[in-house]
Amino acid sequence: MFIEFRVQNFRSFKERQTLSMVGAALSEHLQSNTFDTKLKGFDRLLRSAVIYGSNAAGKTNLMRAVQFMQSFVISSASTTGAAQYPYRPFKLSKTTRESPSEFEMAFIQSGIRYEYGFSMGPKQIEREWLIEHVQSRSRTRGRRLFERTLDKRTKKYVWEFGPSFKGERTTWKNSTRAEALFLSTATQLNSVQLRPVFDWFQKTLVVVVGPTTLNQSLSLQVWDEPHGKERLLPFLKEADLGIVDIQIEKKPLPVSGIIAGPQTMLQQRMGQPTPDVVQVTLSHASDDPKRPIGLDFEDESSGTKILFLTAGAWLNVIKNGEVLLFDEIDTNMHPTLLKFLVQKFHSSSTNPSNAQLICSTHNTSLLDREIFRRDQFWFVEKDRIGASKLYPLTDFSPRNDEVIERWYMRGRYGALPILPVKPSE
């Protein structure tokens, strides 16, 4: 479960910015759009959030910041060499070009709330820490598992380990390179206690930004599961595309490698020397209710193709209770379909594992109080020196009956492109 993310001095973010999924004290859509974490005294979390801003305002950089933190946690222990050290500060100010970049994530994994973060300078990690919040019968208390801080005078790290931290701490800290994370190194060296934290970044967090896309092979994997069709077909039919049936035919790839006729995709399965040629046929309702018409996949609209190819990924995110951050989610997607996907997260029946969706978009039709709460809207804009600022709609104390889309387009909340004024003729 995603609680809060903080970033400072990374790409277009100069000052510290915070994205929070902690629900405000609002009654609207309380049961559908928020959920109970089951932690004593802790607020309800949001199932989704949507981020708006003009082009180049910093929406994508926010997603990149989360993606960077994730990839650095996963790979820093195995990546070697100073050339691989990914320091990306805010470069438009002389005060930040050599200053540390800082990342911190608060999340819940296996019923425990964690706060993990690190600060990285131009050449090495300057600070790294992990706090876990443990519940007792009467209260919840935070305890520091570890912290490392670079002593600028001696150029050596000062290490602190909490009494509850278990394992080969001396071996792990001596194996941690200056440009790598202790979390990554200790997990690679079989720290059982840190594995849940590492796994949250590796398995629960999913970030789709830039050339990254949802795993399109997952739809075929879902199909191959027992009762897979029973999972895929209702999902497509609910999207109101007129689809009434799916047929998937698989044949071995010819030895010649030449494929005749309509071809959609290939599927390489484990233990199989050559991939299968996959032919997908979606049947649509016709003027004869008893005779649906099957269309080759290549004849479907781009929106239908995208929905089918990503259906398995959407279903798995929701089934597994993952956290999905999706940049420019509206690309090649009709607004109605987009609303359908968002609302799959806003239901205890369709989202029992409390998966979360955080997306950026230009589609203002989502600025709809029938779909979202006021605390689920966020905005990004740049100041005069090009630094991005992230802020929630609730900063403006909007009225309960305020028409969010109208006031956003009128500029009340900022985060709109500034266009040149056309000279009068």
pLDDT digits (tens, 9 = 90+) for 170-193: 999 999 999 999 999 999 999 999
- 156-161 and 377-382: which strand pairing? unpaired
Angle, helix 335-345 to helix 302-320, in steps of 10 degrees: 10
User: Looking at residue 73, what is its pLDDT?
Assistant: 97
Query: Topology of domain 2-210+327-409, per CATH?
Result: Rossmann fold (3.40.50)
Question: What is the model's pLDDT at position 108?
Answer: 97
pLDDT value of position 83: 58
What ranges make up the beta strands (E) of 327-403?
A: 356-360, 377-382, 388-392
* pLDDT single digits (tens) 336-389: 888 999 999 998 999 999 999 999 999 999 999 999 999 999 999 999 999 999
Q: What is the separation of C-alpha 247 from the centre of its chain, rounded to a whole number of angstroms?
A: 31
Please tell me the predicted confidence (pLDDT) of residue 251: 84
361 burial via Cβ count (<10 Å: 0-12, 13-18, 19+)? buried
The per-residue pLDDT for 384 is 94
Q: Is 135 helix (H, G, I), strand (E, B) or coil?
A: strand
Is the per-residue pLDDT at 258 higher than 70? no
Asked if residue 263 has pLDDT above 80, the reply is no
Confidence (pLDDT) at 419: 55
When pLDDT is averaged across residues 309-329 and rounded to a whole number, the result is 95
Percent of the chain at pLDDT above 90?
A: 72
Lowest mean pLDDT among 92-106, 192-206, 252-266, 409-423: 252-266
What mean pLDDT is predicted for residues 152-160?
96
Per-residue pLDDT band for 277 (boundaries 50, 70, 90) equals confident
In whole angstroms, what is the distance from residue 150 CA to residue 289 CA? Answer: 72
pLDDT range class, residue 425, cuts 50, 70, 90: very low
Segment 199-246, tens digit of pLDDT: 999 999 999 998 778 888 899 999 999 999 999 999 999 887 789 999
Q: What is the model's pLDDT at position 112? A: 94
Q: Is the pLDDT of residue 102 over 50?
A: yes
Please return the burial class of 111, using the count of CB atoms within 10 Å of its CB with bins 0-12, 13-18 and 19+. exposed
Alpha-carbon distance of 46 to 23, in angstroms, equals 6
Q: Which of 104-118, 176-190, 276-290, 311-325 has the lowest mean pLDDT?
A: 276-290
pLDDT surpasses 90 at 418? no
Band of the pLDDT at 332, cuts 50, 70, 90?
A: low
The full DSSP string for 261-302 is: S---EEE--TT-SSPEEEEEEEEE--SSTT--EEEEGGGS-H
Q: Looking at the predicted structure, is the pLDDT value of residue 262 above 60?
A: no
Structure confidence at residue 82 (pLDDT) = 55
Show me where the domains of the chain are located: 2-210+327-409, 218-311
pLDDT of residue 105: 98
In what helix (H) or strand (E) does residue 406 lie, and over which residues does it extend? helix 404-409
- Cβ-in-10-Å burial (0-12, 13-18, 19+) of 105 comes to buried
String of b and e for 383-410 (b: at least 16 CB within 10 Å)? eeeebbbbbbbeebebeeeeebeebbee
Query: Quick check: 293 pLDDT over 90?
Result: yes
What are the angstrom distances between the C-alpha of 384 and each of 59, 111, 239, 389?
17, 43, 43, 11
The pLDDT of residue 216 is 82
Give me the count of residues in the chain: 425
Looking up tokens 């109605």 gives 336
Q: Which one is predicted more confidently, 424 or 123?
A: 123
What is the per-residue pLDDT for 265?
A: 73
